[in-house]
Structure formats: C-alpha cells, structure tokens
Chains A and B, each alone.
Chain A
Amino acid sequence: NAGVMQNPRHLVRRRGQEARLRCSPMKGHSHVYWYRQLPEEGLKFMVYLQKENIIDESGMPKERFSAEFPKEGPSILRIQQVVRGDSAAYFCASSPGTGFDVGYTFGSGTRLTVV
C-alpha cells in the first residue's frame, strides 16, 4: 500500500516559467491538502481539495497559484510565472476524512528551486 506519492522530488524553474507539482493520495483517501515549507520554518497550509472540488484555498496566494484534484488522476498544484520567493518545499497530505484526530499522511515533498 503505497503512501502519498509526490513528483517530481526536485524541480528547477527559471523565473517566469510554470511549475506543476503532482500528488497521488493514499489509496482510500479522498481528501488532499497542500502545504508549503520555507527553509527553517514549519509547514503552512495552502489548500484543501476533494475530488473535483476546492474546499478551502484560504492559504493560497491569490495570484499565480492554483490547485485541482480531478476525477481521474493526481492532484496538481500549479504555479505560474514563478519568482525566486516561490522556492520552497511543497508537501501534499491526504486523509480518509477530516478533523484533527484523523490520520494525515504526508508525501516526501517537491523541492522547487527558482533560478
């Protein structure tokens, strides 16, 4: 039973390019979350999705960032026109339900470097 799969593990983009980060949740998990972690910082919530629905995107920057979780396939976090400040580790988590006491499983992250 594979865990949360994220790819790529490392992504290098030039300023102005687009970055696409993919996340496949654990089998049986229908709730997906994206977090961003800057160096020496804790993870910050970005967005919560269920299949074909964005439930809460309150942590996502208003511009250039978007997320989706289509009926088929992985969840995608898209960053358009990347800037140096977007360099960070992006983690995806999934869960079978919501609530603080359910089991959240995190992937190994995608490290985005903008040059």
Chain B
Amino acid sequence: LAKTTQPISMDSYEGQEVNITCSHNNIATNDYITWYQQFPSQGPRFIIQGYKTKVTNEVASLFIPADRKSSTLSLPRVSLSDTAVYYCLVGDSGAGSYQLTFGKGTKLSVIP
C-alpha cells in the first residue's frame, strides 16, 4: 500500500479557498487517490476520487500532476461547517483492496 503524507493541521478564514496537499511518492500504476472528510463524532464521508489530472464535483476539486506522486484537494470558499479532518488514501481498484488505510489526516480549522 502506498504511504501518504499530509500536513497535520491547517487554518483558514471563511470564504477562502483551501488546498490540502498529500504526498504519495510510491503510488502504483493501478492506484487511485481518494479523499474522505470526518466531522467530530461522525464516520468518514467520501469526498472525491481520482486517478490523474483533475476531477471536480459539487464539493471539491482534486488535482493530480502527471507523475501522480502527490495530489491536492481544493475546497472553494470554505465555511465554518468545513471544519473537519481530511484524509488522503491511496489504493488499487482490485477486489482485494477493501482495507482502507487512514493516516492521521489534516485537521482543517475554519475561522470566522
């Protein structure tokens, strides 16, 4: 399993764009990158997943450079309700890849 490294914490003011970068230097050819969000006292919630280039949904964008050794989760115009821990996960799409490996994540604090 590819190991991921992301900042322990980040602060941002309301209304700003937040970019959280995750390093995964030993990502394999078949690996996907997935981000989860976890609010206090809740289970993780899927945000976005990608393989290469850029993926966008109604919540966030995911930027993956050509070498795929890192990825950046972008949250546009954050609000106080975006305060949460964000986890970057890497794994392949094979049927045996059911163990999600969560690191400590990035604790995002949005300040009014």
Which residues of A does B touch, CB under 8 Å? 4, 31, 33, 35, 40-45, 48, 56, 59, 91, 93, 95, 97-101, 103-109, 111
A98 to B98, CA, bound (A): 6
- Say yes or no: B104 contacts A41, CB within 8 Å: yes
In the complex, which residue of chain A has the Cβ closest to the Cβ of B98? A98
- Say yes or no: A104 contacts B104, CB within 8 Å: no
Interchain pairs with CB closer than 8 A, number = 72
Contacts of B34 in A (CB 8 A): 100-101
Given contacts A48-B98, A98-B98, whether A42 and B43 have CB atoms under 8 Å apart is no
- Say yes or no: B91 contacts A100, CB within 8 Å: yes
- Say yes or no: A100 contacts B103, CB within 8 Å: no
A104 to B98, CA, bound (A): 9
Contacts of A105 in B (CB 8 A): 46
Contacts of B97 in A (CB 8 A): 98-100
Contacts of B46 in A (CB 8 A): 103-105
Given contacts A42-B103, A44-B102, whether A108 and B43 have CB atoms under 8 Å apart is yes
Contacts of B81 in A (CB 8 A): none
- Say yes or no: B32 contacts A101, CB within 8 Å: yes
Say yes or no for B29: interface residue by CB 8 A criterion: no
Closest Cβ of chain B: how far from A17's Cβ, in Å?
23
- Say yes or no: A99 contacts B100, CB within 8 Å: no
In the complex, which residue of chain A has the Cβ closest to the Cβ of B43? A106
